[in-house]
Structure 1
Amino acid sequence: MQYAHFTVAYWCVLIAAILPIVCAGIAKSGRIGVPRKQGGYDNVNPREWLARQTDWRARANGAQANSFEALPFFIGAVIIAHQLGAPQARLDVLAFLFIVLRLLYIMMYVSGMANVRSAVWFAGFLANVAILLVGYR
Protein backbone atom coordinates (compact mmCIF):
# COMPACT_ATOMS: atom_id res chain seq x y z
CA MET A 1 0.00 0.00 0.00
CA GLN A 2 1.29 3.42 -0.94
CA TYR A 3 0.87 6.21 1.59
CA ALA A 4 0.46 9.83 0.67
CA HIS A 5 2.63 12.32 2.48
CA PHE A 6 2.37 16.01 3.11
CA THR A 7 4.86 18.18 1.32
CA VAL A 8 6.40 21.18 3.05
CA ALA A 9 4.03 23.33 0.99
CA TYR A 10 1.01 21.43 2.34
CA TRP A 11 2.28 21.86 5.91
CA CYS A 12 2.57 25.57 5.15
CA VAL A 13 -1.13 25.59 4.19
CA LEU A 14 -1.91 24.21 7.65
CA ILE A 15 0.26 26.88 9.29
CA ALA A 16 -1.38 29.61 7.21
CA ALA A 17 -4.80 28.36 8.35
CA ILE A 18 -3.69 28.63 11.99
CA LEU A 19 -2.29 32.17 11.69
CA PRO A 20 -5.69 33.93 11.98
CA ILE A 21 -6.33 32.02 15.21
CA VAL A 22 -2.96 33.19 16.52
CA CYS A 23 -3.87 36.79 15.65
CA ALA A 24 -7.18 36.45 17.50
CA GLY A 25 -5.31 35.10 20.50
CA ILE A 26 -2.98 38.10 20.43
CA ALA A 27 -5.96 40.48 20.32
CA LYS A 28 -7.61 38.74 23.27
CA SER A 29 -4.46 38.15 25.31
CA GLY A 30 -4.59 39.31 28.88
CA ARG A 31 -8.32 40.03 28.70
CA ILE A 32 -9.71 36.51 29.05
CA GLY A 33 -10.92 35.96 32.60
CA VAL A 34 -11.19 39.68 33.29
CA PRO A 35 -14.82 40.64 34.06
CA ARG A 36 -16.65 42.19 31.09
CA LYS A 37 -17.49 45.30 33.12
CA GLN A 38 -13.75 45.87 33.52
CA GLY A 39 -13.08 45.55 29.77
CA GLY A 40 -12.47 41.82 29.78
CA TYR A 41 -13.03 39.64 26.77
CA ASP A 42 -16.72 39.09 25.99
CA ASN A 43 -17.22 35.57 24.69
CA VAL A 44 -20.97 36.23 24.36
CA ASN A 45 -20.34 39.00 21.80
CA PRO A 46 -16.77 38.46 20.62
CA ARG A 47 -17.01 40.44 17.37
CA GLU A 48 -18.51 43.46 19.12
CA TRP A 49 -15.80 43.27 21.80
CA LEU A 50 -13.05 43.08 19.17
CA ALA A 51 -14.59 46.00 17.24
CA ARG A 52 -14.27 48.19 20.35
CA GLN A 53 -10.57 47.48 20.85
CA THR A 54 -7.89 50.08 20.15
CA ASP A 55 -4.16 50.23 19.50
CA TRP A 56 -2.34 46.91 19.20
CA ARG A 57 -5.43 44.83 19.99
CA ALA A 58 -7.32 46.44 17.11
CA ARG A 59 -4.32 45.93 14.84
CA ALA A 60 -4.10 42.25 15.86
CA ASN A 61 -7.75 41.93 14.90
CA GLY A 62 -6.95 43.59 11.56
CA ALA A 63 -4.11 41.12 11.06
CA GLN A 64 -6.56 38.32 11.77
CA ALA A 65 -8.93 39.58 9.08
CA ASN A 66 -6.11 39.99 6.57
CA SER A 67 -4.79 36.51 7.36
CA PHE A 68 -8.22 35.08 6.51
CA GLU A 69 -8.27 37.17 3.31
CA ALA A 70 -4.85 35.88 2.17
CA LEU A 71 -5.69 32.24 2.87
CA PRO A 72 -7.81 31.27 -0.20
CA PHE A 73 -5.24 32.54 -2.71
CA PHE A 74 -2.42 30.73 -0.91
CA ILE A 75 -4.35 27.45 -0.68
CA GLY A 76 -5.35 27.68 -4.32
CA ALA A 77 -1.84 28.52 -5.47
CA VAL A 78 -0.32 25.57 -3.59
CA ILE A 79 -2.91 23.13 -4.92
CA ILE A 80 -2.57 24.39 -8.49
CA ALA A 81 1.22 24.24 -8.31
CA HIS A 82 1.05 20.63 -7.11
CA GLN A 83 -1.42 19.73 -9.85
CA LEU A 84 0.82 21.28 -12.48
CA GLY A 85 3.77 19.22 -11.27
CA ALA A 86 5.82 22.16 -10.02
CA PRO A 87 9.38 21.37 -8.93
CA GLN A 88 8.74 20.33 -5.33
CA ALA A 89 11.82 21.92 -3.79
CA ARG A 90 11.07 25.27 -5.39
CA LEU A 91 7.42 25.09 -4.37
CA ASP A 92 8.35 24.20 -0.79
CA VAL A 93 10.81 27.09 -0.53
CA LEU A 94 8.26 29.57 -1.90
CA ALA A 95 5.53 28.32 0.45
CA PHE A 96 7.89 28.55 3.41
CA LEU A 97 8.88 32.06 2.31
CA PHE A 98 5.20 33.02 2.19
CA ILE A 99 4.73 31.82 5.80
CA VAL A 100 7.81 33.73 6.98
CA LEU A 101 6.53 36.86 5.26
CA ARG A 102 3.07 36.40 6.80
CA LEU A 103 4.64 36.11 10.26
CA LEU A 104 6.64 39.29 9.63
CA TYR A 105 3.49 40.97 8.34
CA ILE A 106 1.59 40.11 11.53
CA MET A 107 4.45 41.40 13.69
CA MET A 108 4.63 44.66 11.71
CA TYR A 109 0.85 45.05 11.83
CA VAL A 110 0.58 44.55 15.59
CA SER A 111 3.60 46.83 16.14
CA GLY A 112 1.99 49.62 14.12
CA MET A 113 4.70 49.76 11.47
CA ALA A 114 2.35 50.51 8.57
CA ASN A 115 4.85 51.23 5.77
CA VAL A 116 6.99 48.19 6.50
CA ARG A 117 3.84 46.11 6.91
CA SER A 118 2.64 47.14 3.44
CA ALA A 119 6.00 46.29 1.88
CA VAL A 120 6.01 42.87 3.55
CA TRP A 121 2.41 42.29 2.42
CA PHE A 122 3.43 43.04 -1.17
CA ALA A 123 6.41 40.67 -0.93
CA GLY A 124 4.06 37.96 0.37
CA PHE A 125 1.67 38.62 -2.50
CA LEU A 126 4.55 38.25 -4.99
CA ALA A 127 5.62 35.01 -3.31
CA ASN A 128 2.07 33.74 -3.68
CA VAL A 129 2.01 34.68 -7.38
CA ALA A 130 5.34 32.84 -7.78
CA ILE A 131 3.80 29.76 -6.12
CA LEU A 132 0.90 29.89 -8.55
CA LEU A 133 3.21 30.18 -11.56
CA VAL A 134 6.04 27.85 -10.50
CA GLY A 135 4.43 24.87 -12.23
CA TYR A 136 3.58 26.74 -15.43
CA ARG A 137 5.17 25.25 -18.49
Structure 2
Amino acid sequence: MPLAYWCVLIAALLPYVLGKYAKLGVASDNRYPREDYDNLPPKNRRAYAAHQNALETFPFFAVAVVIALTMGAPLYTVNLLAVLYIVLRIAHALLYIFNQPTARSLVFAAAMAVGVAIFVLPAFK
Protein backbone atom coordinates (compact mmCIF):
# COMPACT_ATOMS: atom_id res chain seq x y z
CA MET A 1 0.00 0.00 0.00
CA PRO A 2 1.40 3.44 -0.87
CA LEU A 3 2.83 5.57 1.92
CA ALA A 4 0.38 8.31 0.90
CA TYR A 5 -2.53 6.07 1.97
CA TRP A 6 -0.93 5.62 5.38
CA CYS A 7 -0.73 9.42 5.55
CA VAL A 8 -4.47 9.54 4.90
CA LEU A 9 -4.96 7.26 7.92
CA ILE A 10 -2.74 9.50 10.06
CA ALA A 11 -4.64 12.58 8.90
CA ALA A 12 -7.92 10.83 9.74
CA LEU A 13 -6.75 10.00 13.27
CA LEU A 14 -5.07 13.33 14.03
CA PRO A 15 -8.33 15.15 14.89
CA TYR A 16 -9.20 12.52 17.50
CA VAL A 17 -5.77 12.75 19.11
CA LEU A 18 -6.23 16.53 19.31
CA GLY A 19 -9.76 16.18 20.68
CA LYS A 20 -8.54 13.82 23.40
CA TYR A 21 -5.66 16.18 24.21
CA ALA A 22 -8.12 19.07 24.51
CA LYS A 23 -9.90 17.26 27.34
CA LEU A 24 -6.80 16.06 29.19
CA GLY A 25 -6.94 16.94 32.86
CA VAL A 26 -10.48 18.33 32.59
CA ALA A 27 -13.54 16.77 34.19
CA SER A 28 -15.81 15.53 31.45
CA ASP A 29 -19.45 14.44 31.30
CA ASN A 30 -19.76 11.74 28.67
CA ARG A 31 -23.53 12.28 28.47
CA TYR A 32 -22.91 15.75 26.97
CA PRO A 33 -19.32 15.58 25.69
CA ARG A 34 -19.56 18.56 23.34
CA GLU A 35 -20.68 20.89 26.10
CA ASP A 36 -17.37 20.42 27.91
CA TYR A 37 -15.44 22.45 25.35
CA ASP A 38 -16.97 25.77 26.38
CA ASN A 39 -15.41 25.48 29.84
CA LEU A 40 -11.90 24.47 28.84
CA PRO A 41 -8.83 26.54 29.72
CA PRO A 42 -7.44 28.59 26.79
CA LYS A 43 -4.72 26.09 25.79
CA ASN A 44 -7.24 23.25 25.73
CA ARG A 45 -9.72 25.36 23.74
CA ARG A 46 -7.00 26.00 21.18
CA ALA A 47 -6.37 22.24 21.01
CA TYR A 48 -10.08 21.77 20.37
CA ALA A 49 -9.93 24.41 17.63
CA ALA A 50 -7.00 22.50 16.10
CA HIS A 51 -9.15 19.36 16.31
CA GLN A 52 -11.95 21.09 14.41
CA ASN A 53 -9.55 22.44 11.80
CA ALA A 54 -8.03 18.99 11.27
CA LEU A 55 -11.53 17.59 10.70
CA GLU A 56 -12.33 20.38 8.23
CA THR A 57 -9.20 19.89 6.13
CA PHE A 58 -9.12 16.10 6.10
CA PRO A 59 -11.66 15.41 3.31
CA PHE A 60 -9.82 17.50 0.72
CA PHE A 61 -6.49 15.87 1.53
CA ALA A 62 -7.91 12.34 1.39
CA VAL A 63 -9.67 12.98 -1.91
CA ALA A 64 -6.59 14.65 -3.38
CA VAL A 65 -4.44 11.60 -2.57
CA VAL A 66 -6.97 9.15 -4.02
CA ILE A 67 -7.46 11.24 -7.17
CA ALA A 68 -3.72 11.72 -7.69
CA LEU A 69 -2.94 8.02 -7.35
CA THR A 70 -5.88 6.77 -9.40
CA MET A 71 -5.10 9.27 -12.17
CA GLY A 72 -1.52 8.08 -12.44
CA ALA A 73 0.45 10.77 -10.64
CA PRO A 74 4.01 9.68 -9.80
CA LEU A 75 3.84 7.57 -6.65
CA TYR A 76 7.11 8.90 -5.23
CA THR A 77 5.94 12.50 -5.55
CA VAL A 78 2.51 11.83 -4.04
CA ASN A 79 4.15 9.97 -1.14
CA LEU A 80 6.60 12.80 -0.56
CA LEU A 81 3.89 15.47 -0.65
CA ALA A 82 1.60 13.41 1.60
CA VAL A 83 4.33 13.10 4.24
CA LEU A 84 5.00 16.83 3.97
CA TYR A 85 1.28 17.47 4.46
CA ILE A 86 1.26 15.39 7.67
CA VAL A 87 4.33 17.19 9.01
CA LEU A 88 2.69 20.56 8.28
CA ARG A 89 -0.61 19.53 9.88
CA ILE A 90 1.16 18.39 13.05
CA ALA A 91 3.12 21.65 13.10
CA HIS A 92 -0.15 23.54 12.58
CA ALA A 93 -1.72 21.79 15.58
CA LEU A 94 1.27 22.52 17.80
CA LEU A 95 1.36 26.16 16.73
CA TYR A 96 -2.38 26.39 17.43
CA ILE A 97 -2.04 24.86 20.90
CA PHE A 98 0.92 27.06 21.81
CA ASN A 99 -0.78 30.23 20.53
CA GLN A 100 1.42 31.21 17.59
CA PRO A 101 -1.22 32.65 15.23
CA THR A 102 0.99 34.09 12.49
CA ALA A 103 3.15 30.98 12.12
CA ARG A 104 0.03 28.82 12.41
CA SER A 105 -1.63 30.66 9.52
CA LEU A 106 1.49 30.35 7.34
CA VAL A 107 1.73 26.62 8.04
CA PHE A 108 -2.00 26.22 7.34
CA ALA A 109 -1.54 27.91 3.96
CA ALA A 110 1.47 25.73 3.18
CA ALA A 111 -0.47 22.56 4.03
CA MET A 112 -3.35 23.66 1.81
CA ALA A 113 -0.90 24.40 -1.01
CA VAL A 114 0.54 20.90 -0.63
CA GLY A 115 -2.99 19.46 -0.81
CA VAL A 116 -3.66 21.42 -4.00
CA ALA A 117 -0.33 20.26 -5.42
CA ILE A 118 -1.29 16.64 -4.77
CA PHE A 119 -4.67 17.21 -6.39
CA VAL A 120 -3.29 18.81 -9.58
CA LEU A 121 -0.26 16.52 -9.90
CA PRO A 122 -1.92 14.20 -12.46
CA ALA A 123 -2.37 17.15 -14.83
CA PHE A 124 1.42 17.41 -15.12
CA LYS A 125 2.35 13.77 -15.67
TM-score surpassing 0.5? yes
Per-residue CA shift, 1:63-82, capped at 9, x if unaligned? 01000000110011001101
**Aligned counterpart in structure 1 of residue 17 of structure 2, from 18, 22, 27:** 22
Aligned-partner residue type, residue 54 of structure 1 = P
**Aligned counterpart in structure 2 of residue 118 of structure 1, from 77, 96, 105:** 105
- Superposed displacement of residue 43, structure 1: 1.3
Give the corresponding residue for 2:32: 45
**Aligned counterpart in structure 2 of residue 11 of structure 1, from 6, 22, 25:** 6
Matches of 2:44 and 2:73, distance apart in 1: 39
Q: TM-score, normalised by structure 1?
A: 0.88
Percentage of identical aligned residues: 40
**Aligned counterpart in structure 1 of residue 41 of structure 2, from 51, 54, 61:** 54
Q: TM-score, normalised by structure 2?
A: 0.96
Give the corresponding residue for 1:34: none
Matches of 2:38 and 2:123, distance apart in 1: 42
Moved over 3 A (4+): none
Q: Which runs of 5+ in 2 are unaligned?
A: none
Matches of 2:19 and 2:29, distance apart in 1: 13
Matches of 2:71 and 2:83, distance apart in 1: 19
More helix by share: 2
Matches of 1:42 and 1:115, distance apart in 2: 34
Give the corresponding residue for 2:72: 85
Aligned-partner residue type, residue 11 of structure 1 = W
Q: Which runs of 5+ in 1 are unaligned?
A: 1-5, 32-39
Aligned-partner residue type, residue 60 of structure 2 = F
Give the corresponding residue for 1:101: 88
Matches of 1:57 and 1:81, distance apart in 2: 36
Matches of 1:79 and 1:86, distance apart in 2: 10
